[in-house]
Structure 1
Amino acid sequence: MDAKTNEKKNWTEEERLELAAKLDKELDEFIDKLPRRKYEDGWPEDRWEEEMAKHPFFMKEPPKPGDELHPLYEGLQNLKYDPDENEPEELANNYKADGNYNFKYKNYRLAILSYTEGIKVKCKNTEINATLLNNRAAAHFFLKNFRSSLLDCQSALKLKPDYDKALNRAALCCYEMKNFQKAVEYCDIILDKAQDNKVILDLRKKCINEEKAKRRNERKKELEAKKREKEEETLINEIIKRGCRVEGNLSLDKLEPNFPQLVHNRVHLDENNNLVWPVVFVYPEYKIMDYIQEFNEKQSFSELLGVVFETTPDWDHEQKYRSNNLVIYFETPKKKIQCVRNDTILEEVLTSKEYIIRGGTPSFIIMVKGSTAEKSFLEQY
């Protein structure tokens, strides 16, 4: 080989700089000639944190139902829940682990779904199945689904009769459902094994006291119901005795006021055994009504009108509606108009053969005596 070939050239500083510049230029030209293609495989700059959070290696929370799954996450999930890749006990444990994870972060509904899937596996391990049922009962309890929680506790106890957690929760569920007798039964089972369990002793005492209060309230309600029934029977008899005519068959339903303003003012008996009626006064001239909550049958119309018109109503701009200047009418079943004397008591009108009580509320028409409105009104009849 030629000796000159192996001889190392001594470069000056200027030559090195010139060569470096030449190489940089050639590299730039090479890159510029490469075909331009958009890079689409990476995360967008404006959403890289969002995309990163979706990646199974970086996500902090599991996907929610309905979320689009990352292909890698979906693959891992399929591997975890594939019955061909897992024994029944492994599957049940996997679902239990998921349920426990969601339970820890108070995602109780998701926990219930996971425990339910684990129960559906029907593995032959009684301990696992009892735990799944007990854990689902706990999730139901925190959602206040006490009946569902109790059912799961009872199912767990069938598999594992001495399951303390299930017994404790069953007692609490019964207490919350106000089934105090059953709660005491569960408390007694627990106390047979641990007589000094203060929590259960306190719960048992509360159940006994509340059961007594419950029975006392039930007896009180029964007595009140009987008393109310007796009062209602007496009311019907008094109306019949007076000969009042009520539209339709006389019953409590027929005595309920049809007007919302009087819905809580059904006819009743006062301490003197007088009927007290809700009444409506109609003023055709102004197309308005007064809702009188209580009109004692022994009270006269003039007495009540004196109270109603003690002050001039806002709608009476001419101040002509005065108690001594009013005429009272009612419409008979034959569509005729009948006048009522102002000194007449209510009982006298309601027991007349010409009057029918409709909708549990007697009603009367009030006009100004001798007014144009009264004459126009009477012409209709």
Structure 2
Amino acid sequence: MGTGDLGASLQSHRASQPLLEVDHVQGPELPPGLQNKNETADSKESTPLFMKDAGLLDWEDDDAILDALRALEHEGTRAEAALNCRELGNKAAKANSWLYAKQCYTNGIAVLTASEDKWEQPADIETELLQLRETKEACYVNRALCNLKLENYRSATLDCASALKVNSKNTKAFYRSAMALLALGKLPEAEDAATCGLELEPNNRPLQEIASRIGGRKEAVEAITEKKRMEEERAYKIKLVLSNALQARQIRVRITDQSPNLEDARMHLTPDPLSIESTLVFPSVFLYPLDAQSDFIKAFSESDTIAHHLSYVFPLPWDSNHEYELSRVNCYMENATGGLIQAGKKLPLSQILKSGKVEVVDELIKIYIVPATSAEKWIEQMKSRQKRS
């Protein structure tokens, strides 16, 4: 049988094999010395996306190859020794012994890639070359299957790349690389590998199915990305409108690098955070400095008064002397220079803030509540403390 007849026969045999079988993976029709130079150039231009990583082009685990080579007996020709390893791997793969099958294929690759030739010389060089290429392609593509089963997805892509270097039309290599790349979340590369395979065999059902799965995953990822983009865009608009609302109301704000953890309590506009006409709401805290106590008000509207919130906070459970009553306390807020101003209990918060004397720091309104009888002494203590600092 001539080279052309042998190639046609092998090509026909390969086309009849399902993608997930490990037997009879067939290589190109011609040995290396008989390849057409133009075909080689074309194959470089159409390199699959996942193989454009330079690390894939010359990859091989040298230590594993050397270990495998030392364990082999040098009997028969190189092609016969490699074929024996391949057949052992096929039997192990059919029995789902993936680790052993992987080792058998690695042994075959060791024979095929060894620089030292200790095997018998073949009677027919051309037939030997064809068998070597066929077995090399098969060992790589079948070891890729083992790596898929063992969830070694990166290694599976490397083996597929090696198989495609031998035969750029190996649809099993495209299928298995697409599977591995999908598992790795590399969707553009996975889609490209499936597309390359379908260009060779448009009616290949496994490739159609993996292409569909990749398309579904891609749509899901795109939907998540779009949702995130829209959320980020909305958050930016909300922040911009809030800033404009504060400026329109002449309210001074400042953010420090020591902002307290307010959890989900934030300065915001309600009911519509995208409308400057909505009501401003602030997280606030009532501080009782003479008794080292405090009350947190999650939502203090700009239209609310201090008296409104004190009306439900009082009476205080720890106020055994009944010093904290609405008519018997004074309220104070810090101004921009660190001093104090007395805040009217019945004034809307917006009126207090728009005076420009009060600064909202880290989005939190702080209001000091002091019994009127102790207010003068406490103010003097605060002034003295400020001078020392």
Q: TM-score range by the shorter chain?
A: 0.5 to 0.7
Calculate percent identity across the aligned residue pairs: 22
Question: Following superposition of structure 1 onto structure 2, how do residues 2-21 of structure 1 map, counting pairs within 5 Å?
Answer: none
- Name the structure 2 match of 1:207: 214
Match of 1:284 in 2: 289
1:298 aligns to what SS in structure 2? coil
Q: State whether structure 2 residue 340 is matched by structure 1 residue 337.
A: yes
Corresponding position of 1:58: none
Q: Which residue of structure 2 aligns with residue 241 of structure 1?
A: 248
Task: Determine which of 344, 349, 354 is the counterpart of 1:351.
Answer: 354
Q: 1:215 to 1:333 in 2, by over 3 A?
A: closer
| Structure 2 CA distance for partners of 1:144 and 1:274, relative to 1, 3 Å | farther
Match for 2:180 among 173, 178, 191?
173
Tell me, yes or no, if the aligned pair for 1:257 and 1:360 is still in contact at 8 Å.
no
The runs of 5 or more residues in structure 2 that have no matched partner are 1-65, 116-131, 384-389
In the TM superposition, residue 342 of structure 1 has moved relative to its aligned partner by 0.6
Instruction: Report the alpha carbon displacement of residue 134 of structure 1 after superposing the two structures with TM.
Output: 4.3
Aligned AA for 2:339?
Answer: K
Confirm whether residue 155 of structure 1 aligns to residue 162 of structure 2.
yes
Q: Structure 1 pair 303/184, CA: closer, same or farther in 2 (3 Å)?
A: same
Q: 3-state DSSP class of the match of 2:373?
A: coil
Cα distance per residue 1:286-320 (max 9 Å; x no partner): 3233332221112111112224x16x555445565
For residues 68 and 247 of structure 2, the distance between their equivalents in structure 1, rounded to whole angstroms, comes to 79
Q: Distance in 2 between matches of 1:296 and 1:119?
A: 76
- How far has the Cα of 1:235 moved from its partner? 1.4
Equivalent-residue separation in structure 1 for 2:209 and 2:285 (angstroms): 58
Match of 1:354, as an amino acid?
K
- The one-letter code sitting in structure 2 at the alignment partner of 1:302 is A
Q: How does 1:196-345 map to 2 (within 5 A)?
A: 197-247=204-254, 254=255, 258-260=259-261, 262-270=262-270, 271=272, 272-307=277-312, 309=313, 312=315, 314-318=317-321, 320-345=323-348
Bigger CA drift: 176-185 or 120-129? 120-129
2-side partners of 1:101 and 1:91: how far apart?
15
Amino acid corresponding to residue 379 of structure 1 in structure 2: E
- Report the structure number with the largest CA radius of gyration: 1
Amino acid at match of 1:297: E
Tell me if the contact between 1:328 and 1:341 (Cα under 8 Å) persists in the aligned partners.
yes
Q: Which amino acid aligns with 1:274?
A: T
CA deviation profile, 1:206-249 (whole Å, cap 9, x unmatched): 333443444344444333333332222121122222222233xx
Alignment of 1:57-72 (within 5 A): none
For 1:296 and 1:130, the matched residues in 2 are separated by: 73
Give the superposition deviation at 1:80: 7.0
Which residues of structure 1 form unaligned runs of 5+?
1-77, 248-253
**Equivalent residues of 1:92, 1:121 under 8 A apart:** no
1:258-298 deviations in Å (ceiling 9; x for gaps): 222x1433321113422211222222233233332221112
Partner of 1:38: none
1:333 positional shift: 3.7
Give the whole-Å Cα distance in 1 for the aligned partners of 2:111 and 2:378. Answer: 79
How far does the alpha carbon of each residue in 1:165-184 deviate from its partner, in whole angstroms, 9 at most, with x for none? 42222122333345545434
Q: For 1:123, give the aligned amino acid.
A: A
Structure 1 match to 2:20: none
- Of 361, 365, 368, the residue aligned with 1:362 is 365
User: Distance in 1 between the 2:321 and 2:88 partners?
Assistant: 83
Which residue in 2 is equivalent to 1:187?
194
